[in-house]
Chain A
Amino acid sequence: MELEKRGAVAPLLVTSTFLPLVEAQAKARRVTPRIVVVPHPVGGLNEAELAERIEAAAGALLPLADEARGSA
């Protein structure tokens, strides 16, 4: 969120359990973060499980990134 304040576009890959924390921080800082939610946990996954997470996260991120680039 610090990054966005300083002008960089900073999408956050947030694991689901940390989502409320990120949202509350955003509220306190009065910023609207760009969030891609990844099912918790990420640590402890094997390769195939991780690949699945990457696939899902990329699916959400690419349109978000396109939109950010398009509107800039």
Chain B
Amino acid sequence: MNSDWDLAVVGAGVAGLTAARVAAEAGLRVVAYDRMTPGGQLVNLTTLHDVPEPGEVTSSAGLLGRLVAEAEAAGVTMSFAEVTRVRAGAAPRLETSEGEVGARAVVVATGLTAGRLGLPGEELLVGRGISTCAGCDGPLFRGRAVAVVGDDDWTAEEALELAEVATAVTVLVPGQPRWSGERVGRLAASARVEVLTGATVTALRGEGVLSGVVVATAGSERELAVDGLFPYVGRRGPGALVDGLPTDEAGRLRTEGGVRTAVPTVFVAGDARSAATGSVPSAGADGEAAGAAAVAMLRPAGGPGLRIVDPTFGVQPADSAAEAQAGGTADWSEVALFSNSKPNATELLRGVGERLQEHWELPELGFASKPNASAAADKDVIDWLSQRYKMVLVAVGD
């Protein structure tokens, strides 16, 4: 079968899963790609604040589970191939680790790359002190000091999560913080958190593993000894992934109002979109909008498309449940083999049966076979086997 789709969603986080679900519910054939597991940034969080409503708290895993289940129930196909390039155009094509596929529309919902400071030696220290996932790597820094770099709600949330395990969390804000008043309060309430504004990391310390950073603040520079560094600055959008679309300075895709881009077949949702606010509710809203926009684009103004009678439709036979009967009275010493009479099937069964006989110290094994590999099993034989034996080992195939 051809592998083309009505809609390909790149990135299965909150925005991507929502867009995919909305489009699939409208009857589109939708694939959602995520090179890792679905979830996007949700994977990196344990608890979500202000979700679903301001002031409320939601478990990240619970939300993710619901988003995935809803998408799959709507008929979305999940793929774990890595999308390496999106060629935007009238007929978009995606290059993936499993080959090239076509889609009639694409929603880019990749989110952003992990945070980076852009300092020499940084890449060598990733996983050796530098991390961008407090939920995943936080426990490694239990009883140790860490620094967090960033200015947004995300940074604040990660710092608060780290404060539950680390002895000291220094939040280095390059300019002034942008996080919410509620988070200002929570950060201030934590004895382990210190916030430094106007702070820039100028160098990394450590041989093989991180041991500290050099921090410049207005007019002065100082060494800060930390075992962990969590940068949430320098995150890049998917500009390099998508051909033919304008991006902002952070590589996020520019849109022409909402989730639409300069190319009618390509939509952007979530953090990958220039000017996205980066919250879970806004990613969800983007997903809703992108899914609906893709549906509207694929359903031309001329009419709703084709309506057809499902050629695969059928109903369960009325009596299928009534067939089930109570099992026999046999106990676990009564085991039989049932061969389909294909070449070697009996030999295979006997071999495996002997191993079970030894294992359970059975006195003997029963045996039955279909007279003919191609015919359905005789009802009488099935009756007899199910009454006489507790377990029947069956050979299928050739």
- Please determine whether chains A and B interact with each other in the same assembly: yes
Whether the Cβ atoms of B382 and A3 lie closer than 8 Å is yes
Whether the Cβ atoms of A8 and B396 lie closer than 8 Å is no
Whether the Cβ atoms of A15 and B397 lie closer than 8 Å is yes
Minimum CB–CB distance for A44 against chain B, Å: 7
Is B313 part of the binding interface, using a Cβ–Cβ cutoff of 8 Å? no
A21 to B392, CA, bound (A): 20
Is B123 part of the binding interface, using a Cβ–Cβ cutoff of 8 Å? no
**Within B376-398, which residues are at the interface with A (CB < 8 Å)?**
377, 382-383, 385-387, 389-398
A25 to B392, CA, bound (A): 19
**Within B316-338, which residues are at the interface with A (CB < 8 Å)?**
320, 323-328, 330, 332, 338
Minimum CB–CB distance for B343 against chain A, Å: 4
- What residues of chain B lie closer than 8 Å to A14, measured between beta carbons? 396-397
A15 to B349, CA, bound (A): 12
Whether the Cβ atoms of B392 and A5 lie closer than 8 Å is no
Q: Which of B323, B325, B328, B392 contacts A10 (CB 8 A)?
A: B392
The contact string, 1 if C-beta is below 8 Å from chain B, for chain A 6-25, is 11111111111111001000
- What residues of chain A lie closer than 8 Å to B397, measured between beta carbons? 13-19, 38, 40, 42
Minimum CB–CB distance for B267 against chain A, Å: 34
Residue picked from A3, A36, A65, A72, most chain B C-beta under 10 Å: A3
Whether the Cβ atoms of A5 and B391 lie closer than 8 Å is no
Whether the Cβ atoms of A42 and B398 lie closer than 8 Å is yes
Minimum CB–CB distance for A17 against chain B, Å: 6
Whether the Cβ atoms of B398 and A43 lie closer than 8 Å is yes
The answer to whether residues A72 and B325 also contact, given A12-B394, A65-B391 and a CB cut-off of 8 A, is no
Whether the Cβ atoms of A43 and B326 lie closer than 8 Å is no
Interface residues of chain B, those whose CB is within 8 Å of chain A, are 320, 323-328, 330, 332, 338, 342-345, 347-349, 351-352, 355-356, 359-360, 377, 382-383, 385-387, 389-398
What are 13 of the A-B contact pairs (CB < 8 Å)?
Answer: A3-B392, A5-B325, A8-B386, A9-B390, A9-B391, A15-B397, A15-B398, A36-B352, A38-B348, A38-B397, A53-B351, A61-B355, A62-B359
The 6 A-B pairs of least Cβ separation, nearest first, read A7-B327, A15-B397, A54-B351, A18-B397, A43-B343, A6-B386
- 20 further contact pairs, Cβ within 8 A, besides A8-B385, A61-B352: A3-B385, A3-B392, A5-B325, A7-B328, A9-B390, A11-B391, A11-B393, A22-B396, A29-B320, A42-B342, A42-B344, A44-B344, A50-B347, A53-B348, A53-B351, A54-B352, A57-B348, A57-B352, A61-B393, A65-B391
